[in-house]
Amino acid sequence: MGHTREQMGTTAVVPNPVEVEDGFYPVGPARKRIELDAGALFVLKSKGSWWHCGYHLTTSIVAPALLSLPLAFSLLGWEGGVIFLLMGGVTTFYSYNLLSLVLEQQASLGQRQLRFRDMARDILGPAWGKYFVGPLQFAICYGAVVACTLLGGQSLKFIYLLYRPDGIMKLYQFIAMFGCLTLFLAQIPSFHSLRHINLVSLILCLAYSTCAAGGSVYIGDSKNAPPRDYTVNGKGMDRVLGAFNGISIIATTYASGIIPEIQATLAPPVKGKMFKGLCICYSVIVTTFTSVAIAGYWAFGNRAKATILMNFMGDTKPLLPTWFLLMTNIFTLLQTAAVTLVYLQPTNEVFEKKLADPKEGQFSPRNIVPRLIARSVSVIVATVFAAMLPFFGDIMALFGAFGCIPLDFILPMIFYNVAMKPSKRSAVYWVNTTILVVSSVLVAVGAVASIRQIILDAKSYRLFANV
């Protein structure tokens, strides 16, 4: 049971990370040994450092979705864009720290929670974990896998068309190629095993963000710069719903949805490590989000498209050299693969818990075969959905309103107020309550705006479309 040290005249037990590998986790003052299921034992291995935590956090948040921030600014204008970008950063940093504090407090009480649904079960009741938080998180994470697979296919097609503008290959073929890459990488056994990949992912997101911001400045300062107009498009209700759509884009860009699972990868003791990891993550967020959003909106104004890379192609010809566009898309493609793997982890954990035997070795034939089959089927189904529904971005906007905001903006406030029981006269209680109420309004209005956008775009929907 670990080793001991003398502290103020008493003997304190310090846990060893190896204890987790034996199928048990020591928690609470009495060092109670909690038996782990196969999902926690094999996928959420608690062996990482706070540096590794920072890499995982960065990959889960700083993803190619940030290339849509200039579009969000075009729906909000300069003042609204800057204000909501800063508010989103401050609110999520605060929210994720609250989650971490609650997890640490629960562990000190003898129940370390390794998953979002575990938190809901222990703090709000079994039904919340089983019927609401668990399915919601699974849908959001698996939806992110489908969206990343679609984005990976689009990046491959973009690279292909740079050199073969008259090429005849279809989008679904490139999605299948990306799916094959994911099929191979999905067999990486645990979340902790992704630490080196996620370090490379951190470097890649800095690289393509630098390219996006630098390319925008180059275009905006060139003699062929497109005309810029910073007025917000639309009037009346269209403009209002557009603004809420912009807020939803920013909120979804900051979303993670897997904070407890990332904290679960930390080796004990975990106290204070998550905060350090968040500091790494948010230093990257500040660098990438602000540079891409401001430079992209400055260069293109209200003509900003779904991603800034689409603006780089111009109306008639590319606005940047082919080699630069190729480099930017390769960086984006590779990081998309890393993001896909991170969001596969909750799915992998669920399958591992259901199908694997924790009493057998992780790499025993008894566990390898069902793992290989389950993960392969999961990736194949996601790839088919991505190829079949290339308009999945509109659906994910709806998922984002119903899923990302509740998981990352609402539930952390509820967990903290219920578990930590701050005084109703304290500032933290009212800050949490205010964020909860405002976020609930955003869920309602964001859902309406997303459904409206789906209706507007429905006429162009076609299965296996080559968009």
Tell me the per-residue pLDDT of 159-172, one tens digit each, with 9 for 90 and over.
998 888 888 888 88
Structural domain 20-460, CATH architecture: Orthogonal Bundle (1.10)
pLDDT, mean over the chain: 86
Average pLDDT over residues 222-241: 83
Tell me the per-residue pLDDT of 102-157, one tens digit each, with 9 for 90 and over.
999 888 887 888 899 999 999 999 999 999 999 999 999 998 999 899 999 999 99
Tell me the per-residue pLDDT of 353-393, one tens digit each, with 9 for 90 and over.
999 888 888 888 998 999 999 999 999 999 999 888 776 55
pLDDT interval class at 198 (50, 70, 90)? very high
Beta bridge partners of 24: 35
Structure tokens at 280: 């790494």
Q: d(Cα 198, Cα 186) in Å, to the nearest integer?
A: 14
Q: d(Cα 14, Cα 31) in Å, to the nearest integer?
A: 9
The answer to which of 207-216, 300-309, 386-395 has the lowest mean pLDDT is: 386-395
Beta bridge partners of 6: 11
Name the residue with higher pLDDT: 257 or 23. 257
Phi, psi of 65 (to 5 degrees): -60, -25
8 Å CB contact between 130 and 138? no
Q: Where are the domains of the chain?
A: 20-460
Please report how the helices 69-108 and 411-419 are oriented relative to each other, as an axis angle in degrees rounded to 10.
20
Q: Is 184 exposed, middle or buried (0-12, 13-18, 19+ CB in 10 A)?
A: exposed
pLDDT of residue 31: 46
